[in-house]
Structure 1
Amino acid sequence: MSTRPYRSSVREQAAGLTRTAILDAAERLFAEHGYARITIVRVAEAADVAANTVYAAFGTKAGLVVALMERGAAEPAIGRALDRVSKAADGAEAVRHAARGTGETVRRHVRAMEVLYDNERADPLIAEAVRCADDLQRARLGEIADRLVELGALREGIGRAGAADVLWYYLGQSSWRRLRRMGWSWQRAEEWLASQVAMALLRP
Structure 2
Amino acid sequence: MTSPNRRTAHAEATRQAILAAARRLFVERGYFETRVEDIARAAHVGAPAVYATGGGKSGLLRTLIEAGTHGGDADAIHARIAAETDPDALLRFIVDATRGVFEEWAPLIRQVTDAAPQDPAVRESLETAHAGLRRGLFRTADRLAELGALQPGLDAGEAADLLWYFLNDQSYFTLTGDLCWPPSRAADWLHHRLRTVLLH
- TM above 0.5, yes or no, is yes
The reply to whether residue 188 of structure 1 matches residue 193 of structure 2 is no
Q: Distance in 2 between matches of 1:166 and 1:11?
A: 49
By how many angstroms is 1:192 displaced?
1.1
Aligned AA for 1:68?
A: L
Unaligned runs of 5+ in 1: none
Matching residue of 1:99: 95
Q: CA RMSD in A?
A: 1.8
Q: Post-superposition shift, 1:190?
A: 1.1
- How far does residue 158 in structure 1 lie from its aligned partner after superposition? 0.3
Give the secondary-structure state (helix, strand or coil) at the position aligned to 2:85: coil
Q: CA deviation at 1:197?
A: 1.0
Of the candidates 20, 26, 35, which is equivalent to residue 24 of structure 1? 20
- Aligned partner of 1:78 among 62, 71, 74: 74
- TM-superposed CA distance for 1:188, in Å, is 1.1
Task: Quote the Cα distance in structure 1 between the aligned partners of 2:76 and 2:193.
Answer: 22
Asked if 1 retains the 8 angstrom alpha-carbon contact of 2:137 and 2:163, the reply is yes
TM-score by length of 1: 0.90
Aligned match of 1:197: 194
Deviations for 1:39-70, whole angstroms, at most 9, x for unmatched residues? 10011111111111001111221222111211
- Name the stretch that deviates more: 70-79 or 139-148: 70-79
- Give the distance between the partners of 1:9 and 1:200, measured in 2 at CA: 54
User: How many Å apart are 1:15 and its aligned residue?
Assistant: 2.0
- Partner residue in 2 for 1:89: 85
Question: How is 1:1-204 mapped onto 2 (pairs within 5 angstroms)?
Answer: 7-182=3-178, 183-203=180-200
Q: TM-score of the superposition, structure 2-length normalised?
A: 0.91
Q: What is the aligned residue count?
A: 199
Question: 172-181 or 193-202: which moved more?
Answer: 172-181
